[in-house]
């Protein structure tokens, strides 16, 4: 593809700002069309990019012949409908995580890409975070031997303000936060540990925010209300009218390669960050820091007692410009090169589907007695279509 790329965006505000990184007229890429139910967001989008076309009906956008690709940054419960429509129209798609809010929804998206031979790229930007890449490099270079276990603790410090004041708190719109937030971490655990979850067990509950009666009956579109002084969590006001998702969840996973993983998520910690440790037969690694300046990965590979300084420490590059420690511009740049056929993808639609499948199975499990559940596989012919597209 050598002519200019014309790109559309569904969901122009909130996470839709990610697509700003794609708009590089000097390099032959222009954001030319936007769809969103909110006219004010559309007007702002048109002015910012001098867009040719805006609409409150996404179907008008995907029907256009002059678009090469569509970013889908709408809320989670729209992903299935928006992605299937765009893929059926033959558009290349950048789809935000989680791929969809059900496993069946993900499978419909994979099938549509397969049937229409359309390019599908998943927005799992954590695969572009320097500390995650460093952990993967250390594993691949054999620093900890054969991987046996992966653990992730996710301290969602601004959970109350970010995820309990709008649609995220309503399970009919998100399935649950174990999936909504955990899709990132399950994908990273799968990537670092080299397999996909086949069996899960989980426990969790709504342990703090359910006690807050102060609700906002009509949350503003894309409500964001994070403030340092909103502390302690029980002092929060203006929660979504429906709050029926867990604020504390814990899941166990058995991967198809015999690795065992765990993931813990809490939405009322004072601090916000993620801590991974990967244990191999000859050592373990762990990250300290969330991608900001000073983030390190430590390696223990000799017998010792408590040794916080570890046996070796690896600094990851300082955060560059752009969101999520530079991962956002990096992933959009890779998507554009993927579109042009210049690179394979670091993220994977099949892997994204397995992260949703594990998150959905775990959510069902914790809501229904915590007995173990199996994760259904992707059909072979669909999986084969995506082979060779991911690095």
Ligand X SMILES: NC(=O)c1ccc[n+]([C@@H]2O[C@H](COP(=O)([O-])OP(=O)(O)OC[C@H]3O[C@@H](n4cnc5c(N)ncnc54)[C@H](O)[C@@H]3O)[C@@H](O)[C@H]2O)c1
* Contact status: 11 vs ligand X (CB under 6 A): yes
Q: Which stretch binds ligand X (CB under 6 A): 30-38, 203-211, 343-351, 361-369?
A: 30-38
Q: What stretch of H or E contains 10?
A: strand 5-10
Q: How far is CA 299 from CA 192, 310, 359, 379, in A?
A: 15, 6, 29, 38
CB of 384 to ligand X, least distance (A): 27
Residue 36, interface with ligand X (CB under 6 A)? yes
H-helix segments, 218-348: 327-339
Choices 31-39, 149-157, 281-289, 294-302; region in contact with ligand X by CB under 6 A: 31-39
Among 14, 283, 325, 326, binds ligand X (CB under 6 A): 14
Q: How far apart (Å, rounded) are the C-alpha atoms in residues 205 and 212?
A: 15
Q: Mask 209-248, x = binds ligand X (CB under 6 A)? A: ------------xx--------------------------
- What does DSSP assign to residue 367? T
Here's the x/- map for ligand X, 75-114, by CB under 6 A: it reads as: xx-x-----------------xx-----------------
By the 8 A CB rule, do 380 and 220 touch? no
Beta bridge partners of 15: none
* DSSP H/E element including 248: strand 248-255
- Give the one residue of 22, 34, 61, 74 binding ligand X; rule: CB under 6 A: 74
User: What DSSP character marks residue 148?
Assistant: E
Nearest one of 165, 172, 190 to 247, comparing CA atoms: 165
Among 19, 35, 253, 319, indicate the residue that binds ligand X (CB under 6 A).
35
User: Is residue 10 a contact point for ligand X (CB under 6 A)?
Assistant: yes
**Measured from the CB of residue 12, what is the shortest distance to ligand X in angstroms?**
5
Q: Closest CB to ligand X among 42 and 201?
A: 42
Between CA 203 and CA 65 the distance in angstroms is: 48
CB 288 within 8 A of CB 295: yes
As measured in angstroms, the least distance from the Cβ of 347 to ligand X is 10
Closer of 8 and 14 to ligand X (Cβ): 14
From the list 36-44, 109-117, 231-239, 360-368, the region that binds ligand X by CB under 6 A is 36-44
Non-local (6+) Cβ contacts of 250 within 8 A are 202, 203, 204, 262, 263, 264, 265
Residue length of the chain? 391
Reduce the DSSP state of residue 296 to 3 states and report it: strand
By the rule CB under 6 A, 132 interacts with ligand X: no
Residues 112-131 that bind ligand X (CB under 6 A): 123, 125
**Per-residue binding letters, 51-70, with ligand X (x by CB under 6 A):** -------x------------
Calpha distance 229→388 (Å, rounded): 49
Nearer to ligand X among residue 138 and residue 332 (C-beta) = 332
Nearer to ligand X (CB atom), residue 194 or residue 323: 323
- CA dihedral (178, 184, 186, 188) in degrees, to 10, reads -160
Choice between 40 and 318, CB closer to ligand X: 40
Spatial CB neighbours of 66, under 8 Å, sequence gap ≥ 6: 6, 32, 52
Residues touching ligand X: how many (CB under 6 A)?
A: 25
* 44: contact with ligand X by CB under 6 A: no
Which residues of this chain interact with ligand X, rule CB under 6 A?
Answer: 10-16, 35-38, 41, 58, 73-76, 78, 96-97, 123, 125, 221-222, 324
């Amino acid at each position: 593809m050598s002519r200019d790329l014309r790109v559309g965006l569904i969901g122009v505000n909130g996470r839709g700002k990610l697509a700003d990184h794609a708009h590089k007229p000097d390099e032959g890429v222009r954001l030319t069309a936007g769809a969103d139910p909110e006219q004010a967001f559309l007007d702002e989008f048109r002015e910012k990019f001098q867009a040719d076309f805006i609409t409150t009906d996404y179907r008008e956008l995907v029907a256009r012949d002059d678009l090469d690709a569509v970013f889908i940054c709408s809320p989670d419960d729209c992903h299935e409908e928006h992605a299937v429509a765009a893929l059926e129209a033959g558009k290349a798609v950048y789809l935000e995580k989680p791929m969809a809010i059900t496993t069946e929804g993900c499978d419909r998206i994979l099938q549509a890409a397969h049937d229409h031979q359309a390019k599908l790229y998943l927005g799992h930007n954590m695969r572009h975070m320097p500390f995650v890449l460093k952990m993967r490099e250390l594993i691949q270079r054999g620093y900890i031997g054969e991987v046996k276990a992966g653990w992730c603790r996710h301290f969602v410090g601004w959970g109350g303000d970010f995820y309990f004041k709008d649609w995220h708190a309503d399970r009919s719109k998100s399935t649950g936060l174990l999936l909504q937030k955990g899709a990132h971490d399950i994908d990273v655990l799968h990537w670092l540990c080299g397999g996909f979850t086949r069996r899960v067990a989980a426990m969790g509950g709504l342990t703090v925010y359910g006690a807050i009666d102060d609700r906002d009956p009509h949350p503003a579109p894309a409500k964001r209300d994070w403030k340092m002084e909103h502390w302690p969590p029980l002092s929060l006001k203006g929660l979504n009218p429906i709050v029926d998702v867990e604020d504390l969840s814990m899941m166990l996973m058995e991967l198809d390669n015999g690795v065992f993983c765990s993931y813990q998520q809490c939405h009322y910690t004072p601090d916000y960050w993620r801590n991974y440790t990967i244990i191999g037969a000859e050592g373990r690694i762990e990250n300290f820091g969330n991608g900001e300046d000073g983030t390190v990965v430590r390696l223990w590979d000799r017998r010792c007692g408590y040794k916080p300084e570890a046996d070796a420490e690896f600094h990851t590059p300082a955060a560059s410009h752009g969101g999520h420690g530079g991962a956002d511009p990096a992933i959009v740049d890779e998507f554009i090169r993927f579109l042009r056929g210049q690179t394979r993808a670091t993220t994977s639609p099949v892997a994204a589907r397995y992260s949703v499948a594990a998150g959905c199975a775990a959510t069902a499990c914790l809501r229904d007695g915590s007995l173990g559940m199996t994760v259904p596989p992707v059909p072979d012919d669909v999986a084969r279509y995506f082979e060779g597209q991911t690095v």
